[in-house]
Amino acid sequence: MFDLDRVISLLRQGRHITEETVYALCLLSQELLMNESNVTHVNTPVTICGDIHGQLHDLLTLFEKSGGIEKSRYIFLGDFVDRGFYSLESFLLLLCYKLRYPDRITLIRGNHETRQITKVYGFYDEIMRKYGNSNVWRYCCEVFDYLSLGAIINQSVFCVHGGLSPDVMTIDEIRSVDRKQEVPHEGAMCDLLWSDPDDVDTWSLSPRGAGFLFGGQQVQEFLSRNGVDLIARAHQLVMEGYKEMFDNGLVTVWSAPNYCYRCGNVAAVLRIDDDLSRSYTIFEAVQPQNDVGNTILPTRKPQMDYFL
């Protein structure tokens, strides 16, 4: 229906993709993703990547610094869209890579891969600006519904976008969740995408308005009960690119450098090798181009910042 390699080349340049091509790409992606389980099994070595948030040029730097999709295996922990100016190109590029190299890239759903959030934080407006209608936004949102909720690496590392849930004691329970829907406002699926680690003794309601705060005790109980050594998650800005907590039982990985083009942070990815050793690659932001394709950098309108 379309030349996948040509589409990849256009997306890497931030060039315009026709609405018909986006539709076909999203349809093929849905067919591929619907066959994946809620918790995808991934083998080592693998590179874990945090939030991207539409920063296409930094996504390209991420691949450049970490080996590239042609040679390496990747897990992306969600939040591909919103806030940045290249959400569509970033998400579609990852979908193209998923179609080209299905065994080398795993895409996990983040809390921004929803209709409600993308209407507020930039993705919807970006598509309206680029296409003049919301069709492409609808096609992408239908793909969001098929993204996995987590991944397990060599039965030792559990990957999720946000964190834990008081409604989920085991990874097997996540496998029974009906993920093919808009993210609910509460419950296990919501918590996996919205929760955060914090210095708390018990489950506490999150100030984000969704999900929970959880502490070291909840992490250790989850690790022990499921026989895993590490929880790798994203969801929170970390100025140093990554942050290990709770006796190294949990790590937050953040992969959007100079977040929102103003935070001044560096970014990181985490590589898990065959012996389960961890190594981090740190990288800085590149200056986004404003002279490519239909990617116009608009004056950003104020947004409701539930959290950076």
What digits encode the pLDDT tens for the residues 108-130? Answer: 999 999 999 999 999 999 999 99
- Residue 287's pLDDT is 75
Mention every residue, 6+ apart, whose C-beta is less than 8 A from residue 15. 292, 293, 294
> Residue 196 in contact with residue 235, Cβ under 8 Å?
yes
- Residue 2's pLDDT is 85
For residue 16, pLDDT over 60 is answered with yes
Q: pLDDT exceeding 90 applies to what percent of the chain? A: 92
Mean pLDDT, range 257-266, rounded to an integer:
97
> Residue 22 in contact with residue 130, Cβ under 8 Å?
no
Q: Which tens digit of pLDDT belongs to each residue from 176-214?
A: 999 999 999 999 999 999 999 999 999 999 999 999 999
- Residue 296's pLDDT is 45
For residue 253, pLDDT over 70 is answered with yes
Task: Please enumerate, as own/partner, the contacts of 57-62 that have beta carbons within 8 Å and a separation of 24 or more.
Answer: 57/86, 57/286, 57/287, 57/288, 57/289, 58/255, 58/256, 58/257, 58/258, 58/267, 58/283, 58/285, 58/286, 59/90, 59/93, 59/94, 60/12, 61/257, 61/283, 61/286, 62/255, 62/267, 62/269, 62/283
Q: Which tens digit of pLDDT belongs to each residue from 151-172?
A: 999 999 999 999 999 999 999 9
The single residue of 112, 161, 185, 235 carrying the catalytic annotation is 112
Q: Which tens digit of pLDDT belongs to each residue from 35-51?
A: 999 999 999 999 999 99
What span, in angstroms and rounded, lies between the C-alpha atoms of 260 and 233? Answer: 20
Domain locations along the chain:
19-292
Mean pLDDT, range 271-285, rounded to an integer:
97
| CATH assignment, 19-292 | 3.60.21.10
Q: Is 112 one of the catalytic residues? A: yes
More confident site: 296 or 68: 68
- Residue 289's pLDDT is 53
- Residue 288's pLDDT is 57
For residue 303, pLDDT over 80 is answered with no
45 preceded by a cis bond (ω within 30 of 0): yes
Closest CA to 270 of 35, 49, 3: 49
- Residue 301's pLDDT is 44
pLDDT band at 298 (very low <50, low <70, confident <90, very high): very low
Can you give the length of the chain in residues?
Answer: 308
| pTM (two decimals) | 0.94
Look up residue 16 and give its amino acid: H
For residue 90, pLDDT over 60 is answered with yes
pLDDT band at 295 (very low <50, low <70, confident <90, very high): very low
- 108: how many CB neighbours lie within 10 A of its CB? 27
